[in-house]
Amino acid sequence: MNVDVSSLGKVAVLMGGSSAEREVSLMSGRGVLAALCASGVDAHAFDPAQRDLAELRRDGFARAFVALHGRHGEDGTVQGALELLGIPYTGSGVMASAIAMDKVMTKRLWLADGLPTPRWQVLVPGAQDREHALRVPDVLGLPLIVKPPHEGSSIGVTKVRGYSQMQDAVALAARYDADVLCEEFVDGLEVTCPVLGEGDGAVALPVIRIDAPDGNYDYEHKYFSDDTGYRCPSGLPPEEEAEVQRLTLAAYRSLGCRGWGRADLMIRAADRRPFLLEMNTSPGMTGHSLVPMSAKAAGLSYEQLCLRLLQCARLDAATARRP
């Protein structure tokens, strides 16, 4: 891939931020920054938790690579600020970012488009007491998953195996979010599928199969443990791999995503049916991250991936101009 790096201008790699995923974002950002600099890009680290975003314009940045994860980075807020500043950025726009960050709204849109996702219930503030919590397994069955609907990286997530665990699981999720999402557990294979591009031109990359110890793909196993196994090629039958990719593209387009993203899915063991769990619009780019792994299997190096994403940076409004 030939890219005239001088045409990209001065680039800010947004990393860190103020979310619960700050540590992971710093790891992602450092990797992206090193890759861009190695490719000759005039790239610089920029932490919105330590600097005002208005400094991006003052300091002459022409583009922003969004390596932020979680709230105030992946939820449309930073994207909106960059729109106002007139600085093109990587990844999805304001609306798609905001919707994908909200797992409940994401599920509603997917269901409206006929896409499969596990059954769920939401416990709103005032309905998170023991009485309400103990009703959930009667509807969704056991085991089930309890999580904050606006966090990522498995933060605040519990796999509940018995009624006695429900209240503690709800309390943990409520530490990170006002609402608590309770989701049917799909017993089977955990897979993930990245996407590059936009609209009809979007392309699904190779599927990755995740083999976490005891099926526990938590924060530690995602970013810091070497015990988690990743299979890419996935080893799935060709028709299953194709179906996961088809569903991922449909889910990506349903939310209006662009640039890149990564869908997480479960393939139910009982009937091999895939179910969509969530869409990540600012996926990790750490040494344990999955998009670079899948891109490598497709013949795209980490550096090439970063350049491609940066090259596709843009604003929601194609006619936007700086004042």
Show which residues are catalytic: 21, 153, 223, 262, 264, 278, 280, 284
| Amino acid (one-letter) located at 313 | A
Our CA dihedral for 166, 192, 289, 206, rounded to 10 degrees, sits at: 170
Half-sphere exposure of 303 (CA within 13 A, CB side): 12
Burial of 255 per CB tally in 10 Å (0-12, 13-18, 19+): buried
Q: What is the DSSP secondary structure assignment for residue 89, as one 8-state letter?
A: B
Contact present, 53 and 18 (Cβ < 8 Å): no
Rounded alpha-carbon distances, angstroms, from residue 150 to 100, 172, 175: 9, 14, 12
Query: Distance (Å, rounded) from C-alpha 182 to C-alpha 30?
Result: 34
Query: Distance (Å, rounded) from C-alpha 268 to C-alpha 223?
Result: 25
* Neighbour count for residue 146 (Cβ, 10 Å): 25
Contact present, 67 and 15 (Cβ < 8 Å): yes
| Amino acid (one-letter) located at 273 | R
